[in-house]
């Protein structure tokens, strides 16, 4: 398998060290959704397929989503309405297609509506929110200006590549073209 594997107990740690901004945003939002216990469809798909790509097994994925969602909709409704779509993503329902995680291109070209949180932060965040997100990842000073220059020129994947390099203190010559590539390249550096 080309992607690294994670289990549910590692997810918080690897999210902090190796998730790209688009997934970090959804993941932290999900963590914080204590009042709402909810993430809309677009966000669930984007994050859910990414987690599948990083090697979260179906049972762990069900446990991950159920922990929050069932607090809002109840365990029974979760099992009926939401577990189906998670199983579906894993190719266990419907046409049994094994859905692949979204690429940067697909995420960048998505059009999140009001209340949606999927999409690419470089494209969809305000400058202020993007700066705050970068600072949180430990990107500061000149590196932030360099990232912002790429964003202004709509080179979102280059902005992400510069972010990766600033966070890891290591070059990423191939450039970022997939959130799961960001993750596996990051894990390679972390584990070396």
Binding site for ligand SF4 (CB under 6 A): 20-22, 104, 107-108, 120-122, 156-157, 160, 176, 179, 182
Compute the distance between CA of residue 69 and CA of residue 77 in angstroms, rounded to an integer: 9
The binding site consists of 22, 104, 120, 160
Q: Measuring CA to CA, which residue among 54, 72, 45 is closest to residue 6?
A: 54
Q: Which CB, 53 or 179, lies closer to ligand SF4?
A: 179
Nearer to ligand SF4, 62 or 108 (CB): 108
* Torsion of Cα atoms, 109 then 115 then 117 then 119, to 10°: 0
CA R_g for the chain: 17
How many CB atoms sit inside 10 A of residue 162's CB? 24
> Whose Cβ is closer to ligand SF4: residue 108's or residue 172's?
108
Specify binding-site residues for [4Fe-4S] cluster: 22, 104, 120, 160
Residue 21 or 53: the one with the smaller Cβ distance to ligand SF4 is: 21
CA distance 62 to 79: 9
CB of 42 to ligand SF4, least distance (A): 13
CB of 20 to ligand SF4, least distance (A): 4
Residue 13: both structure tokens together: 């740690």
User: Residue 157 Cβ, how far from ligand SF4 at the closest point, in Å?
Assistant: 5
Shortest Cβ distance from residue 77 to ligand SF4 (Å)? 31
For the CA atoms of 44, 46, 49, 54, the dihedral, rounded to the nearest 10 degrees, stands at -110
- Contact (CB, 8 A) for 62 and 48: no
């Amino acid at each position: 398998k080309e992607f690294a594997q994670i289990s549910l107990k590692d997810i918080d740690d690897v999210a902090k060290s190796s998730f790209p901004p688009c997934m970090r945003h959804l993941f932290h939002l999900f963590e914080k959704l204590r009042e709402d216990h909810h993430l809309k469809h677009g966000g669930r798909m984007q994050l859910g397929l990414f987690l599948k790509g990083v090697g979260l097994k179906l049972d762990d994925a069900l446990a991950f989503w159920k922990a929050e969602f069932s607090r809002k909709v109840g365990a029974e409704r979760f099992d009926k309405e939401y577990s189906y779509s998670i199983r579906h993503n894993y190719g266990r329902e419907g046409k049994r297609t094994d859905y692949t995680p979204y690429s940067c291109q697909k995420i960048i070209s998505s059009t999140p509506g009001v209340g949606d949180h999927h999409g690419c932060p470089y494209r969809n965040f305000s400058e202020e929110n993007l700066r705050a997100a970068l600072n949180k990842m430990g990107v500061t000073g000149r590196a932030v200006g360099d990232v912002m220059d790429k964003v202004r020129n709509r080179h979102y994947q280059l902005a992400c590549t510069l972010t990766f390099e600033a966070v890891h203190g290591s070059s990423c010559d191939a450039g970022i073209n997939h959130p799961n590539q960001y993750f596996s390249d990051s894990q390679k550096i972390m584990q070396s």
